[in-house]
Structure 1
């Protein structure tokens, strides 16, 4: 496959503030990527540099093998991109059909109408072309914004927090539906979000940003199960670090017992490390001889997230079906089911990415 988007060593400053720091990644044709991170990490700034709304201090950006930033700077309207904004940015005085057709004035009337009708069907708004934006729900308006961005048939689609104005249930539904639309049309897309559920639902590749730097660019599965560093481990999913000692080429010992790795560990026997434990790694079992004390609990409908104190005082999380209702202070039986040993240096902290230098 050919890289449709190539971002190489991009830097961006606002005065003395280094907003984007030497970021490199690429998207293959037909792939959907996502820039994921907390507010202020540089993800929207990076998206805006790709769109051409912001200049770059160093590095280059290429779209479909054409340099658009770096050796030369191509204006946004010449980059062959589509853009879906956070607030939809629909024209209130134009109908749905007129909004979709706004950027394709170069087509004949028949071609334009055919493309509008095709896109209305694609986003499941067939027959709604005569309505105005205020007559539609938020989810429908977002579909119109998507259709309008796709109308000029761009090489690359950029989406800036496209679901942030929608309720949680609609976000999950629409993210899945929009992924299916983009995949059906082989559209290459890059989205920005701070919501990891949206990122995992939408993207083939996820880039976790912190303090302007790309911490990891990988598949959602690898981002979650094989985080590169404590910053990624702390931001993606839920989990804690506990102390662990390397006891062999494939084994570590911790407060949850001796754990086995499928691959040879990089550290030598005797080394002290931090081990990432996810809530799904700690299984509740009333018959287990190993126990832990419930410190706190969070009810989540089908599940309860328990914070547990182990015998050595360390704490872990456990996600338990909610029909297992236990009180704070109670001891429950547990066992570990850690399939991926994620180990970091002994002085690691999940808070390493919280405080960014200005």
Structure 2
């Protein structure tokens, strides 16, 4: 059974298709990230699921309940979804406990207090119950937001860039903590982000969105190592394209020599391009080399070397205990990896 099912969803604004015939299923207790650049349709999709906008076409089901269709539209307050926002959306004049209790009007006073205590204990903020939002850090406010979103037992949790305002030093600890809370509560979730690092850390599967469609859906490892097209490959990390010939035995001939693939390649065409990321490139000193280093930066555990390939600037890392000697010639080789080949 799916917690969320979307079929042939379409939404246009001023004649422009923001969501274009989109299909998506989310399994029970699964976290799926809608990942993409600004304007790709991810936030609009989230609003359609929440009922904040009404799509022109398509079906949305939350659990077994249809909430959107040709003749059906269920109001947001009746969809049993919880929401988290990037600005926390806490009421500044209410205490932490009062914020968590805000949506629990149907419970008795005793039940409400029990639920609030349970939720605050879940997010490790029991001792902060009487404080106001301005007395908390950003991470603590986001924990209050997740406690409030989960307090009334939603069927689905929607998260709109919830970590973008969190300090970088604590962001990934918060991501880990909130992911664990969602998993422990056995809630399914849709997470919107433009950050692949956040998406990799938080989600079970990623839906890469491009021009209102899902370009590819899969687990982070699958998408990174086996992108279906160049749009997906480029979004998940910077790199360059090199002309290549597929030798047929899992390797590719390039201007920088033979490149071995760690995954099996199936292609009808033997000529095309491979997408090479900086982490696939190794720089080394040699007796004769043509690689020019434009800049060297020491960043503690490694050196970063700025080079130009195919008219593009790349930074290649080397361990701090094995730096290049810039007074000597430099060459490069492409390390064995899961090659992205496009014909």
Task: Output the TM-score relative to the length of structure 1.
Answer: 0.88
Partner of residue 292, structure 1 = 291
Aligned counterpart for 2:337 among listed residues 336, 339, 347:
339
Paired with 1:308 and 1:104, the residues of 2 have a C-alpha distance of 58
Task: Output the TM-score relative to the length of structure 2.
Answer: 0.91
Paired with 1:48 and 1:327, the residues of 2 have a C-alpha distance of 54
Partner of residue 356, structure 1 = none
Paired with 2:85 and 2:160, the residues of 1 have a C-alpha distance of 5
Deviation of the 1:308 alpha carbon? 3.5
Paired with 1:46 and 1:161, the residues of 2 have a C-alpha distance of 13
Partner of residue 12, structure 1 = 11
Deviations 1:147-206 (A, max 9, x none): 100001001000101011112222222111111111111111111111111100000011
RMSD: 2.4
Paired with 2:99 and 2:229, the residues of 1 have a C-alpha distance of 44
Deviation of the 1:49 alpha carbon? 0.3
Is 1:22 the counterpart of 2:21? The answer is yes
Partner of residue 59, structure 2 = 60
Q: Against the structure 1 CA distance between its residues 265 and 292, is the aligned structure 2 distance closer, same or farther, given a 3 Å change threshold? A: farther
CA contact (8 A) 1:249 1:265 kept: no
Counterpart secondary structure, 2:266: coil
Deviations 1:196-242 (A, max 9, x none): 11100000011111222211111011111111111111111222111
Deviation of the 1:114 alpha carbon? 1.1
CA contact (8 A) 2:285 2:325 kept: no
Deviation of the 1:256 alpha carbon? 2.9
Q: Where does 1:70-85 land on structure 2 (aligned, <5 Å)?
A: 70-71=69-70, 72-85=72-85
Paired with 1:21 and 1:331, the residues of 2 have a C-alpha distance of 52
Q: Where does 1:1-358 land on structure 2 (aligned, <5 Å)?
A: 2-71=1-70, 72-261=72-261, 262-268=263-269, 271-286=270-285, 292-296=291-295, 300-309=299-308, 318-326=316-324, 331-345=329-343
Paired with 2:287 and 2:37, the residues of 1 have a C-alpha distance of 39
Paired with 1:331 and 1:210, the residues of 2 have a C-alpha distance of 42
Paired with 1:18 and 1:298, the residues of 2 have a C-alpha distance of 45
Paired with 2:233 and 2:217, the residues of 1 have a C-alpha distance of 13
Paired with 2:39 and 2:327, the residues of 1 have a C-alpha distance of 39
Query: Which runs of 5 or more structure 1 residues have no equivalent in the other structure?
Result: 346-358
Deviation of the 1:145 alpha carbon? 0.7
Q: Name which of structure 1's ranges 168-177 and 283-292 shifts more when overlaid on structure 2.
A: 283-292
